[in-house]
């Protein structure tokens, strides 16, 4: 008889993130090859895990078409050299695709049906712009179910500014600048590099190269520069390229395991899943989605926001993160929040981003035995939020030395 099990995040890796479009480093690289490279890198780093013991592979993509379609979990598993006996599936929850891959596989492990699983996501926004092949039902607008602007993520960000005037452009600019500076400092300290899988790339002239770093960073960002940027989503608006995540290509993957598999293979988990939740909000202000999903996840875990010692929040837009922090009474510059910066600097390849948050939280946990619980959370297009609470296996109960 299968028994309930703890769910562990054993390890996670990702490709460097590239700028989307013809000038981006992955323009001549297939989307499925990005996730294949991530899987190969993760399995090589976890060589004690038998490939034939992987129970399932869940890979998310927002635009499931072309080289990002055809049941990605299955096709990527085969291309990555996993045995034909390993099944796979595709997941789609827009920005929370990889997060949903993790929670779905985690739930399967938790009820004892799976021992080991791979979960991640990929997005090639250069090849597959968000919504490019979508055909939204006309009833959404005709019956006023959804505001037409709800399908434009930048417009939804502007509406958070409208609804909460005290969340000013100046605060968003300062948050966006801090993300860039923190990400650069983390790069210089070698924080990201251990979890990046190098990817062979080919430029327009056919010359080969190697992608080893996130391409979209702008460490030279200043408040003065941000103040002068155009507001593309609305005349005289407040959301700019400097307070938005750039269009991005990239892939992420994680290895999840149950208690028995951890013992059987002598694994050293980096995190334990405590709870997760998803929630819906009005699509036209989708950015506030992580607020109710975090409240639900905290309630399921029997915790409060004060129990969370580290936050990895997806920076789809600066205003979206600030709205969550403001709701929970957390300062915009709280050092617990995105210590190494976030998507404004690193990029947001939609369905891949959830596992990037987890990879970074896991790395923080290893350095912070004084922190017991951490949160990964993100807003989701069409009015949703997703949150996962994790426990640090290295927690020792001692307060951090100043």
- The closest alpha carbon to 25, from 351, 249, 194, belongs to 249
Contact 141, 148 (CB under 8 A): yes
Strands 271-280 and 199-202: unpaired
Give, in order, the Cα–Cα distances in Å from 100 to each of 60, 104, 272: 8, 6, 16
79: burial class by Cβ within 10 Å (0-12, 13-18, 19+)?
Answer: middle
> d(Cα 59, Cα 120) in Å, to the nearest integer?
5
Residues with a catalytic annotation lie at 95, 348, 379
Contact 324, 297 (CB under 8 A): no
> d(Cα 15, Cα 213) in Å, to the nearest integer?
9
Residue written as token pair 């799976």: 114
């Amino acid at each position: 008889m299968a028994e309930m099990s703890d769910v562990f995040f054993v390890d996670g890796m990702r490709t460097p993130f590239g700028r989307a479009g013809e000038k981006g480093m992955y323009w001549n690289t297939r989307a499925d090859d990005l996730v294949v490279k991530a899987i190969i890198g993760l399995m090589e780093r976890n060589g004690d895990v038998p490939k034939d013991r992987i129970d399932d592979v869940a890979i998310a993509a927002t635009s499931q078409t072309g080289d990002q379609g055809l049941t990605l979990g299955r096709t990527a598993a085969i291309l990555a050299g996993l045995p034909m006996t390993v099944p796979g599936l595709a997941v789609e929850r827009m920005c929370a695709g990889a997060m949903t891959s993790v929670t779905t596989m985690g739930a399967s492990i938790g009820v004892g049906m799976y021992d080991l699983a791979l979960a991640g996501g990929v997005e090639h926004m250069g090849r597959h712009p968000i919504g490019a092949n979508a055909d939204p039902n006309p009833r959404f607008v005709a019956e006023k179910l959804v505001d037409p602007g709800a399908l434009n993520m930048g417009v939804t960000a502007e509406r958070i500014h409208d609804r909460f005037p005290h969340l000013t452009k100046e605060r968003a600019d300062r948050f966006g600048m801090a993300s860039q500076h923190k990400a650069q400092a983390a790069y210089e300290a070698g924080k990201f590099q251990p979890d990046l899988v190098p990817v062979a790339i080919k430029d327009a002239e056919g010359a080969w190269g190697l992608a080893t770093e996130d391409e979209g960073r702008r460490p030279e960002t200043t408040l003065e520069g941000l103040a002068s940027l155009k507001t593309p989503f609305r005349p005289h608006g407040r959301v700019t390229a400097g307070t938005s995540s750039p269009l991005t290509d990239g892939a992420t993957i994680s290895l999840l395991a149950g208690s028995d598999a951890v013992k059987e293979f002598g694994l050293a988990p980096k995190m334990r899943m405590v709870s997760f939740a998803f929630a819906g909000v009005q699509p036209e202000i989708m950015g506030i989605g992580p607020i109710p999903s975090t409240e639900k996840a905290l309630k399921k875990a029997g915790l409060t926001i004060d129990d969370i010692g580290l936050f990895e929040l997806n920076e789809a837009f600066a205003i979206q993160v600030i709205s969550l922090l403001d709701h929970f009474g957390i300062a915009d510059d709280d050092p617990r929040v995105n210590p190494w910066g976030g998507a404004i600097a690193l990029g947001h390849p939609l369905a891949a981003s959830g596992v990037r948050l987890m990879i970074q939280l896991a790395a923080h946990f290893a350095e912070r035995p004084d922190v017991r619980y951490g949160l990964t959370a993100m807003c989701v297009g069409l009015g949703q939020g997703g949150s996962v609470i994790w426990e640090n296996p290295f927690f020792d109960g001692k307060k951090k030395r100043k």
